[in-house]
């Protein structure tokens, strides 16, 4: 069976208290709408239509990575009106799946199950059982357990309000009936809006089966209408992912202080301390230890690697048994080979650091190739940028670079060479030799250290 998806994403979300469209509020580092569109990718619809409205240009710009058709709803008059707006742009299909840009955590697996459970000539509803369903529409069933209606909280009887099964608003609708049902929607309510829930009564009256598919994970159907709800959903999302990692054997010092904003792959006996952020695609090998207050983004850390406190890592490919930090910054394009060490207040960018090399203190190494068993002292920098272009520094195996050296690229330091402290290297240093910048020390014995002048204050009369 063929199907298309309509994602309703036109609302402003005034209760968010933000000028940003609600569907662009961030959850786990991504806009709410991106989560929904990622789930759509998994189920591979024939067509995905996003209904946008408030600041729709921003919404469209944020979704360039997704293949969608855009429909404008200039006036927001309810869920039924949004689907009416999208219907003319639908290609012919068997079924239409309706999703919401502010219900971000529904999974592709659940949507596949809902579609599979809904015959082509039936209506499918995703429902959930809540301990406290206050404020939500209840699923009404007959004596044969068939769904016959959805009753909103304000219209429900006392008996109906005891029902725990609620309507999530996610539907599978048969395309061949949809045009007529949408045309018959009425705005006879206080809000003067067209509600998609009215279609359920139309389906029942027409003898079209209405089938409910219950979701177990309530996070999947949680909507976002306020910053408080967004914060609660964020913490629930993060806790669920922390629990998944702990199930895999990861030691997490405090699950409430771990943020996962992407996909994390872990080996065995990984340890993660407090206030760690893992963003993008992150791979942590066996026995990796992550210290407190560390951010790791789009990186691979080989087995036995240790990241010490307060380090920021982005775009790193590290082999086994490396050490990083504390207070290190690793920028994209960096590769660390086995047992290399990046120490405190060291910044590395677009550089290869080979086996057993050490950069321990207060250095910047950019656009460089550093060989094996190299020792780089404190305060060393590669001067890789001339104001217009970047240039490479090559440091071969077994080099010793003294403290406070400047390597003005492009330059090569030969194998086994030594650079004396304070050297400014503007040409290649030969292998096995000592290279230094000669400086004349001048001593002035008559010099007097300045004394702070004290201005006398006048005595008040």
φ, ψ of residue 276 in degrees (nearest 5): -105, 135
Tens of pLDDT along 33-43? 999 999 999 99
- Phi then psi dihedrals of residue 437, to 5 deg: -100, 120
Nearest of 339, 290, 334 to residue 316 by alpha carbon = 334
361 catalytic per annotation: yes
The predicted-structure confidence for 249-275, as pLDDT tens digits, reads as follows 999 999 999 999 999 999 999 999 999
Cβ-proximal residues to 168 (8 Å cutoff; 6+ apart), any chain: 103, 125, 126, 127, 128, 215, 221
> pLDDT, tens digit, for every residue of 48-79?
999 999 999 999 999 999 999 999 998 888 89
For the segment 275-297, what is each residue's pLDDT rounded down to a tens digit? 999 999 999 999 999 999 999 99
> 177, 181, 171: which is closest to 211 by C-alpha?
171
Q: At 84, is the pLDDT very low, low, confident or very high (cuts 50, 70, 90)?
A: very high
Residue 271 has a CB neighbour count (10 Å cut-off) of: 15
pLDDT band at 152 (very low <50, low <70, confident <90, very high): confident
Mean pLDDT of the chain: 94
Q: What is the pLDDT of residue 138?
A: 93
Domains of the chain: 3-221 (3.90.550.10), 227-435 (2.160.10.10)
User: Which candidate in 35, 81, 213, 361 is catalytic?
Assistant: 361
**What are 310-343's pLDDT values in tens digits?**
999 999 999 999 999 999 999 999 999 999 999 9
Q: Tens digit of pLDDT for each residue in 402-449?
A: 999 999 999 999 999 999 999 999 999 999 999 999 878 888 889 888
């Amino acid at each position: 069976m063929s199907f298309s998806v309509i994602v309703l994403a036109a609302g402003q979300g005034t209760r968010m208290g933000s000028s940003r469209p609600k569907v662009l509020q961030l959850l786990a580092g991504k806009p709410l709408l991106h989560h929904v569109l990622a789930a759509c990718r998994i189920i591979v619809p024939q067509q995905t239509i996003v209904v946008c409205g408030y600041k729709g240009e921003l919404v469209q710009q944020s979704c360039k990575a997704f293949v969608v058709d855009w429909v404008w709803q200039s006036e927001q008059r309810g869920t039924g009106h949004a689907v009416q707006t999208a219907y003319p742009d639908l290609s012919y299909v068997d079924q239409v799946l309706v999703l919401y840009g502010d219900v971000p955590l529904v999974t592709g697996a659940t949507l596949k199950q809902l579609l599979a459970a809904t015959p082509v000539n039936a209506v499918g509803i995703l429902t959930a059982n809540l301990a406290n369903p206050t404020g939500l529409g209840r699923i009404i069933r007959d004596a044969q357990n068939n769904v016959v209606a959805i009753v909103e909280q304000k219209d429900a009887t006392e008996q109906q309000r005891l029902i725990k099964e609620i309507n999530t608003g996610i539907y599978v609708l048969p395309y061949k009936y949809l045009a007529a049902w949408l045309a018959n929607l009425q705005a006879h309510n206080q809000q003067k809006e067209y509600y998609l829930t009215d279609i359920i009564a139309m389906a029942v009256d027409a003898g079209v089966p209405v089938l409910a598919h219950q979701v177990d994970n309530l996070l999947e159907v949680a909507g976002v209408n306020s910053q408080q709800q967004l914060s609660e959903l964020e913490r629930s999302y993060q806790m669920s992912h922390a629990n998944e990692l702990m199930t895999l054997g990861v030691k997490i010092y405090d699950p409430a202080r771990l943020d996962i904003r992407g996909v994390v792959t872990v080996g065995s006996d990984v340890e993660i301390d407090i206030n760690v952020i893992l963003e993008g695609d992150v791979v942590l090998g066996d026995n990796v230890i992550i210290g407190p207050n560390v951010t790791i983004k789009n990186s691979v850390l080989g087995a036995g690697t240790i990241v010490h406190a307060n380090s920021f890592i982005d775009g790193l490919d590290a082999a086994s048994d490396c050490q990083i930090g504390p207070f290190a910054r690793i920028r994209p394009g960096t590769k660390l080979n086995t047992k290399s060490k990046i120490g405190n207040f060291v910044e590395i960018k677009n550089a290869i650091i080979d086996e057993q090399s050490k950069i321990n203190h207060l250095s910047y190494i950019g656009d460089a190739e550093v060989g094996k068993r190299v020792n780089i002292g404190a305060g060393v920098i590669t001067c890789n940028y001339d104001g217009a272009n970047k240039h490479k520094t090559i440091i071969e195996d077994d080099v010793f670079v003294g403290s406070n050296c400047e390597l003005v690229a492009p330059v090569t330091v030969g194998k086994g060479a030594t650079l004396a402290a304070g050297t400014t290297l503007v040409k290649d240093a030969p292998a096995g030799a000592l290279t230094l910048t000669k400086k004349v020390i001048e001593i002035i014995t008559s010099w007097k250290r300045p004394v702070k002048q004290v201005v006398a204050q006048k005595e008040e009369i």
